[in-house]
Amino acid sequence: MTVFSRSTYKRLEEANVNDLVQFAEGDGSTLAIVTAKGADETFGFLILASTGDAYPEPEFTRFEPNEFCLNYGSEWVLEVLEDARSVPRSNDGGEQPGIIRLLPEGPMMIVRGAHPQDRKRLGLFNLDAGKFVGRERYEGAPCFGWILWATAADTQRAGARPIAKFPKEQTP
């Protein structure tokens, strides 16, 4: 018999920077990228999706992990979905958390919490570099959807299921 799983079950504190993790949060589960591990044992997380009310949209947060998670590792793939609105410097609805802006420095996701003193403010998170950037959010080409895969092979494998999609698909 062969058992296949895209993730491993481990303590959240054992995760590495750039790992994709899923953990229980409030009344649901939260999918996040580990962005930092601090000396004070707090971690930085870029929350991508949540099934509960804790994180209704992508945002950055910090906390001390003390639970278990499903760890997908760091080989995950975020497939950006361009469409007719994805043109340079377009501001056609492209100022919402979760929207990705394509820029010369790499893909930038608009997220909440980029400024700890004002959690309501939006900022850009460079997905390639794994850090916040001080850049005008109206630059670049907006992309209004993305799919998150566990591995590059999953993007080509027939019947493979993504880990998450943005925007969330509404269930009837």
Counts for the chain of helices (H) and strands (E), in that order: 0, 14
Asked if pLDDT for residue 55 goes beyond 90, the answer is: no
Q: What is the SS3 assignment for 100?
A: strand
Residue pointed to by tokens 């670049």 = 140
Residue pointed to by tokens 């700890």 = 116
pLDDT in tens, 21-30: 999 887 888 9
When pLDDT is cut at 50, 70 and 90, the band that residue 9 belongs to is very high
H/E/C letters for each residue in 65-84?
CCCEEEEEECCCEEEEECCC
Asked if pLDDT for residue 172 goes beyond 60, the answer is: no
* The CA-based dihedral angle spanning residues 65, 129, 78, 52, taken in that order and rounded to the nearest 10 degrees: 30
Give the β-pairing of 106-112 and 122-126: antiparallel
pLDDT of residue 149: 95
pLDDT in tens, 62-72: 888 888 999 99
pLDDT of residue 171: 42
Asked if pLDDT for residue 93 goes beyond 90, the answer is: no
